[in-house]
Amino acid sequence: MIFEDLKAFAERLDRAYFIDNEYKQYADYDQPLPIGYEQTISQPSLVFQMTYILSPEKGSRVLEIGTGSGYQTALLAEFSGEVYTIERISALAEKAKKRLLGLGYTNISFMTGDGSLGWEEHAPYDRIMVTAAAAELPQELLRQLAAGGRMVIPVGPRGCQELMLVEKDINGEIFTRIIEEVVFVELKGKYGWSYWNK
Ligand code: SAH
């Protein structure tokens, strides 16, 4: 992925298009904003950074967990081959789908459901982007990551997590690197928070 291409696209993409509440007027601020249902759209600089770290290629098959507003999905769809995106809140999923189809993307498959389980049908994935915080690395997602693949995921307790870059080498060995501290809403579902906090 070429930094300048991503930068040019991110500057062109209107974040206000992905917000449909009273916070729309703040779309240009580099701040997370509420998108309803107790969920948030991340600040653009973080979405940019996570996309650049994930570094999808033109032919990449990408799994995204937490479609939310669809803003991050647009960046992924622009710079990869196929995007499979999962959102558990159907109202958010439907709105995001409408927006992304409205932008003309034909390489995105949408699912409403529990993304902590991944999306077995289309696995393995070259890239996995998780935009909700997991308590631990979800084993099921690691399994669905292709050899030579990368995953970007916030991991840690509620309120403060570490953004991690996870790489699976061609032998299937896992390497992790901490990028920085972040705050995301929690990843729910079977292998989300409840699994680790029973
Ligand atoms: N990437 C989004 C940010 C979404 S916030 C954007 O650019 O707008 C995180 C999203 O993850 C929320 O919409 C939340 O509903 C969703 N989420 C949390 N747990 C999930 C799960 N297990 N499966 C699918 N989506 C989940």
Probe target for ligand 1 pocket from 185, 193, 194, 196, with the most ligand atoms within 8 Å of CB: 185
How far, in Å, CA of 178 to CA of 106, rounded?
33
Please write the tens of the pLDDT for every residue from 94-109: 999 999 999 999 999 9
Amino acid symbol at 105: Y
Residues known to be catalytic: 42
Nearest residue to 185 (alpha-carbon basis) of 160, 166, 167: 160
How far, in Å, CA of 100 to CA of 97, rounded?
5
Each domain of the chain, given as residue ranges in start order, spans 56-196
Higher pLDDT, 159 or 141: 141
pLDDT, mean of residues 116-131: 98
pLDDT of 192: 85
Question: Which homologous superfamily does the CATH classification assign to the domain defined by 56-196?
Answer: Vaccinia Virus protein VP39 (3.40.50.150)
What mean pLDDT is reported for the chain?
96
pLDDT of 198: 47
| 86 touches ligand 1 (CB under 6 Å) | yes
Please write the tens of the pLDDT for every residue from 38-89: 999 999 999 999 999 999 999 999 999 999 999 999 999 999 999 999 999 9
